[in-house]
Amino acid sequence: MPEAVSLTFRDQATGKINDLLMDEDKACAATQNLLAYLAGTLFDYKDEGVEFLPAILLCDNIKEKLQSFPGAITHHVGEASFDPASGRKILKDCAPLSSENWFIFIERAEDRVKYGVFTYFRLPTAISLHEGISIGNIFAILIRKVSRTTVEIRGTKGSLLSLIFSTVREGTVDVGGVSRFTADCCGQIPTSISDEFRRYFSRILETELSSSHGTILACVSEADLKCIPELADAVEVTPALDFGAAFSEYQQAGTAAAILTLQRCEELLRGFLNCDGIIVLDRTSRIIAYRVFYRPPQAPGPTVDTVTGGARRRAFEGLKTLVGSKLVSALFRSQDGLTIYHGGNQ
């Protein structure tokens, strides 16, 4: 009788992590095993019943690595042996301290690791942590949960590994979809701020979409949705949530009040993404409506109560038929991180 074969996530992940470390010229069994433990744990990490989503930076020298990040502050919390068993203690000590603006670091030092938390000035024009990790030649690995089923591991030299904790995966992830959709939404932004604003708005959309339960975004040329019968059932945002105006004010004034206005826009965007339905933006990056439910033209009557799961995908397929005539583009993001862009910037 043949022997039973067992295949675990760790078996598969460890080999891929080793490949990534080799690409980063930092092959190391202890680092490989610790990263494998953290990846498996971050997928569904909870402490005292509270879920945490920390981003973790593993490096050789945290102060050297953070020289590219303005205003960086670090707080050392403790140290432990350099092995996977220490991952539990690191997360126990640091995960409750992490947040959108605070991250965990782990410093390698022979057979020990030092760990703690860090932050840096998160100005609207500041680069994100996952973008800034590639600045300079100082070794670092960033591990973070980017969707409900995906943990990402990224290295300084550009190596990227996505670990998907799902047996179901439809289609291929459109890695540039958010950037192309952002370009559509910035089509009528004043040229004086267009480049910097596009980078800012793309970063904000990607960050907030990664923590959402899935959604659909649509970009329109005309702000009057009553001209689009399929989208007439909507909650209008009055006045529109104007990211472009808030960013322009920040660039001109640079005051704490201007930064606060942008932050409030980001908070409200996060709230919209927690609602069912489609979010509609115009070409100046204003959010003009949310809780928009697609109504097929051949099916009059009450709309679908919610757009979730398979219904969300069907709604997106319906929206695609409007692109080019009534819509500039549409962006689909599923709960497991699948991203599909449909529009002129294909």
- Supply the pLDDT for residue 109: 86
Instruction: Kindly tell me if the per-residue pLDDT of 175 is higher than 70.
Output: no
* C-alpha span between 103 and 176 (Å, rounded): 26
What is the identity of the amino acid at 197?
A: F
Q: Are 292 and 231 in contact (CB under 8 A)?
A: yes
- Supply the pLDDT for residue 4: 55
Band of residue 346 on the pLDDT scale cut at 50, 70, 90: low
- Supply the pLDDT for residue 296: 83
Q: What is the CATH number of domain 177-343?
A: 3.40.1700.10
In degrees and rounded to multiples of 5, residue 293 shows phi and psi of: -115, 125
Tokens linked to 124: 């609207």
Query: Going edge to edge, which strands form the sheet with 160-164?
Result: 73-81, 112-119, 103-109, 56-59, 140-147, 150-155, 160-164
Band of residue 240 on the pLDDT scale cut at 50, 70, 90: very high
pLDDT, greater one: 17 or 311: 17
Band of residue 110 on the pLDDT scale cut at 50, 70, 90: confident
* C-alpha gyration radius of the chain: 22
Mean of the per-residue pLDDT values of the chain: 86
pLDDT, greater one: 69 or 167: 69
At 43-53, the pLDDT tens digits run: 888 888 888 88
| Per-residue 3-state assignment (H helix, E strand, C coil) for 187-252 | CCCCCCCHHHHHHHHHHHHHHHHHCCCCEEEEECCCCCHHHCHHHCCCEEEEEEEEHHHHHHHHHH
Band of residue 305 on the pLDDT scale cut at 50, 70, 90: very low
At 144-160, the pLDDT tens digits run: 988 777 889 999 998 99
Sign of torsion over alpha carbons 75, 81, 84, 85: negative
User: Which range scores top for mean pLDDT: 126-130, 240-244, 303-307?
Assistant: 240-244
Domain 9-164 falls in which CATH fold?
A: YojJ-like (1 (3.40.1700)
* C-alpha span between 291 and 235 (Å, rounded): 6
Instruction: Kindly tell me if the per-residue pLDDT of 211 is higher than 50.
Output: yes
What is the location of CATH 3.40.1700.10 in the chain?
177-343
> What's the pTM value of the predicted model, to 2 decimals?
0.72
